[in-house]
Chains A and B, each alone.
Chain A
């Protein structure tokens, strides 16, 4: 069977049963975040779309939804970057190269890469938001000719929380991706911008109707960034967000990730601002 068929058949017949996977690389990348490179049994490709997530299982501890941060063009393995925030992620951080875990997925709707071909891309990342976005950025890097100008605006709390620092340089050099970064609180060595991510947006030069604005960050960030993108005149359906929710099943059944009538695990996590506008009041990320 083709890899894709194996995954689809699994989803159809045993959707709750995780596949066996092995950690082939693991490394602490900041004080709180750990990076994992994972290989599915028989080296099956995950075949995800940038922006999709997987359910990671550690037996005895449960399951959690985690964004994939590698590109589908990174073959025979995929990568996760996980912040230690609770019981499950604490256990995950204790795992290392050679350890096994369970994977279900990929789930959800990823970034609309097919629709973005030929467009300029403006990526706005806040804190951990760069993790799912790395999947898209790497995809763009591997298919650079399909996209117009690409720029990344990154905001995080302090310089030591900056993720993928080395890689960023590679993106800038190899893929001609513009990169601009700001921190909320500088430390003595910091020579870059200080201030909220929203302060970077007015200064960028874009052709709004030919630009996709992609926003991923903590829940509080969205409404402020979306307002700035709207001021830039980017059309509603070209403002793309990825929303964090408490997915438990990934199958649009368990109810935890629901925003009003929408199951984020199936209809999202990636939405357009056009989708968000339709919510009546349960979507915290919607700009008012």
Chain B
């Protein structure tokens, strides 16, 4: 375990340094909310932020991603992306880092997805640990993602005057060595970190009324629950919840033709299981009819199916789906309704 420290007054120096190393993406303010953007001015970086509108998945699983180029006459296909660029995701919350770990599991599962893995190879993750809740929507404590659980290269913790930085990989180490303003952490820093972590335990409390194993059990029994009917009535099938989810990765493929109508590009684009044609086949049969069953599917893809398949919950607790929902469907309320319904029986 190796820790270094960085004075807050030197943060911008370090950001300048990182910006010259690779493409640097970090959170910044956008009106009343926050977004991840490429850093042009280091002053724009904002580390005191609530989860961004879109998760950083847009950088490692782009909204519209080229798969290959083609031409009709002569019939030819070619690689669409020659080179993947190094990039740094700066200031990531631990929940979003957990989101990347989920995606890794999916895209490493055979057959592997080379597009994702190529991008992932080029990615460096610099996290920042939350010491307080972002807002009332998060459920990171229940998911166990309010504390760092690996999956990053460097992790920063705010100690007031300075940041203490945990070095978790060689890649990360290279970004903090040889810089005069980054020093080895001293015992006082370590003690302060310990006290911060202790204080955190009083702030973060499990948001679900049952433990995670109970949540899994309740999903096993709640397929026919009336909770889904209720959510189905309120859902407007806009797909916001899946677009902002760091672990939603469903996609569609599309061909874009150039004006010549002879060549073009095949893309994959984000798609949502909440759209009403998502599971419809050519002959017309819709295998997931109704907003209730589509919402149920979304929840099961976070709390049941990936646990069975990958031994991992795919809700990371960022609260984005609740924050963005136009119909005020709350993830915590939904899970708690299921838990209390089961408790009553």
Q: Are B278 and A15 in contact (CB under 8 A)?
A: no
| Contact partners of B261 in chain A: CB under 8 A | 60
Q: Are A252 and B109 in contact (CB under 8 A)?
A: yes
Of all chain B residues, the one with the shortest Cβ separation from A61 is: B255
Q: Are B287 and A245 in contact (CB under 8 A)?
A: yes
Interface residues of B (CB under 8 A from A): 67-68, 70-72, 75, 77, 106-107, 109, 111-115, 223-224, 249-255, 257, 261, 264, 266, 268, 271, 273, 278-283, 285, 287-288, 293, 297, 300, 304-306, 308-309
A218-B309 Cα distance, complex, nearest whole Å: 29
Q: Are A254 and B288 in contact (CB under 8 A)?
A: no
Residue among A102, A218, A258, A280 with most chain B CB within 10 A: A258
A16-B255 Cα distance, complex, nearest whole Å: 13
Contact with B along A194-218 (1 / 0, CB 8 A): 0000000000000000000000001
Q: Are A245 and B281 in contact (CB under 8 A)?
A: yes
A59-B67 Cα distance, complex, nearest whole Å: 13
- A89-B114 contact in complex given A253-B107, A254-B252, A255-B249, C-beta closer than 8 Å: no
| Contact partners of B115 in chain A: CB under 8 A | 16
Interface residues of A (CB under 8 A from B): 11-18, 20, 57, 59-64, 85-86, 88-89, 100, 102, 218-219, 244-246, 248-249, 251-261, 280-282, 284
The one of A11, A57, A245, A248 in contact with B111, judged by C-beta atoms closer than 8 angstroms, is A11
| Contact partners of A256 in chain B: CB under 8 A | 250, 252, 271, 278-279
The one of B106, B278, B293, B305 in contact with A261, judged by C-beta atoms closer than 8 angstroms, is B305
A57-B261 Cα distance, complex, nearest whole Å: 16
| Contact partners of B288 in chain A: CB under 8 A | 282
| Contact partners of B106 in chain A: CB under 8 A | 253
Of all chain A residues, the one with the shortest Cβ separation from B68 is: A17
| Contact partners of A257 in chain B: CB under 8 A | 279
A211-B45 Cα distance, complex, nearest whole Å: 68
Q: Are B253 and A62 in contact (CB under 8 A)?
A: yes
Q: Are B223 and A248 in contact (CB under 8 A)?
A: no
Q: How far is the CB of B41 from chain A (nearest CB, A)?
A: 37
Q: How far is the CB of A274 from chain B (nearest CB, A)?
A: 17
- A246-B250 contact in complex given A15-B113, A20-B75, A60-B264, C-beta closer than 8 Å: no
